[in-house]
Amino acid sequence: MGSTNDDDTSPGTTKGITPVVNASPADGSSSSDPEDQRAANGLGPLVDDHDGDLVTDVENRDLKRGLGERHLTMLGIAGAIGTGLFLSLGGAIQTGGPLGALLGYAMVGGIVCAVQFALGEVTALLPVTGSFVRHAGFLVDPAFEFAIGWNLVYGNLLSIPSEITAICVLFEFWTDLTPAVWIIVFMILTVLVGVAFVRIFGEVEYFFGILKVLLVVFLIILGLVIDLGGIPGTPRIGFLYWQNPGPFVEYIATGNWGKFLGFWGVMTSAVFSFAGVESIAMAAAETKNPRRAIPRACKQVFLRVLLFYMLAVLIVGMLVASNDPRLGDESGTAAQSPFVIAASAAGIKAIPSLVNAIVITSAWSSSNQSLLAGTRVLYGLALKGQAPKIFLRTTSWGTPYVCVSLFTVFMFLAFLTLNNDALTVFYWLMDLTAAGVLVSWSAILFNHIRMKLAMKKQGLPLARLPWHNSWSIYSSYIALSLTLLILFTNGFSVFTTGGWDPETFVSSYLDIPLVLCAYLIWKFTKKTKLYSLTEIPLEDALKQAELEVEESYHD
């Protein structure tokens, strides 16, 4: 499967491939002989075959396991808690109203729940570098893998300069120093983290994650105190703004239809806010005990992120009226944060600078995560012959340095801010990547559905999976339907009277033809096919999982 030859074989005929998982020691050392480990498990010799469907010998040999469960958990939290939470909630309240925004975030939060459980179940069986991109080649079609993979690479190539641009905007809150200084500084910092041992990346993100969690908890408590009139000289607000101007906002149209459009208009903001939770499995082959660590991290990340977001949206809807003109602030700095607006109204002067500082770390954290995700996907594509083999080159400590070099070149796009308004460039680049999140979620859910259907078709009991939930097949169907609906309607405002905007149209829908074209190009040039459910070699994958010394568990 995943062959780069014209006669792509099915996954059931893997051309003598000997898949191997965890052949390298958990601590990344080279003291244990993979051949001895395989012989002890009754397996054949190592075969370096880039078409391997499970964790290949190449990544076992060249990548080092440096990420633990605590890194993964905080990685997902740090990825999802960022500029979307600190700055974008105000726009969601302005578009949908306090209740409309709460319902919108709850709906997308439900989708994220399904995505996390789907990702955890498939990754527990197939803990490979590149995560759901490689899963697509195993469970669906190599052409689907190629399309999703390069779409993700493209998205992350743009995401990093956009985050660096965001940092430039945020520093304008304090100083008028030329953006070139901040671009150079944070490019260097991002590259240094990117080429370091993956454990260093994990520790950096762990630290940032703790900072973000502490700030969110602090802002939620502060918001509650302000709302209840706990600050001397401020009145009790309660749910006043839910009554006037009301729980919903009429968006584009009037009446109930306008209120529904306001609720639906929150979706894009909510998806952007939750983006990043899927990144925890990207470095599965660099994670200790991935079959156990990744599912646990998926559950913990979902619960914590959803709790933070629901509380934050609720508090913001209580603190700031949906028609407050300050929510329309387009500075791109902490001045547009609803938490800052509420704190400033209460006379608390230190909050704006505190929020701005944490958002800067959030933007840098996001660029680090984009670099990790993008380089690992590119490495995974190279393993399958879907990217040049030069991207397989790694350092002695297991970092794919050629992949990092490519992403470094694209970081220079951030210098566009020197000739254009930095905020305009930031929003334009971020809008280009927003739809990519929905495409990724759709791929994760579709992979999961295919795995569950193939298990049933082949008569394999779900209990053999390293981790599974009996209800997850239904949640994946529902979430996939909603994700596709949001994907095709997230730019609906351009189709309304007087709402046409070429930039919004392109940024909302560019991903769809790009993915489709990539899929068709690989399918017709390599003559791949959609695998039937009986062709997927789940029995081989299950046997490999059962040989693992890691502890399997079920909920």
Q: Of 262, 264, 274, 307, which is closest to residue 438 (Cα–Cα)?
A: 274
In whole angstroms, what is the distance from residue 367 CA to residue 361 CA? 10
pLDDT at residue 426 in the model: 60
Q: What is the dihedral of CA 254, 255, 256, 259, to 10 degrees?
A: 50
Q: CA angle at residue 200 from 195 to 202, to 5 degrees?
A: 110
List of residues 6+ apart from 394 with CB closer than 8 A:
62, 63, 400, 401
Residue 490 dihedral angles phi and psi, to the nearest 5°? -70, -15
| 15/168 Cα distance (integer angstroms) | 51
Angle between helices 142-171 and 511-526 (to 10 degrees): 150
List the Cα angle 412/416/421 in 5-degree steps.
Answer: 145
Residue 256 is classified by DSSP as H
Coil, strand or helix at 282: coil
- Domain definitions of the chain by residue range: 65-538
Query: What pLDDT shows up at residue 327?
Result: 82
CA 544 – CA 138 distance, rounded (Å): 15
- Contact by Cβ (8 Å): 50, 58: yes
The rounded distance, in Å, linking the Cα atoms of 502 and 184 is: 32
Q: Are 212 and 291 in contact (CB under 8 A)?
A: no
3-state helix, strand, coil in the chain (%, to 5): 70, 0, 30
The CB density around residue 6, as the number of other CB atoms within 10 Å, is 9
pLDDT of res. 224: 92
CA distance 157 to 367: 10
CATH 1.20.1740.10 fits domain 65-538: yes
**pLDDT the model gives residue 459:** 95
Q: Is 347 exposed, middle or buried (0-12, 13-18, 19+ CB in 10 A)?
A: exposed
What pLDDT is attached to residue 38? 41
**What is the identity of the amino acid at 359?**
V
| pLDDT less than 50: residues of the chain | 1-39, 41-53, 549-555
Q: Who contacts 375 (Cβ-Cβ below 8 Å, separation ≥6)?
A: 194, 400, 403, 404, 407
Dihedral over alpha carbons 269, 273, 279, 281 (to 10 degrees): -100
pTM: 0.85
Residue 285 confidence (pLDDT): 64
Kindly tell me the sign of the dihedral angle through the C-alpha atoms of 298, 299, 302, 308: negative
8 Å CB contact between 199 and 67 = yes
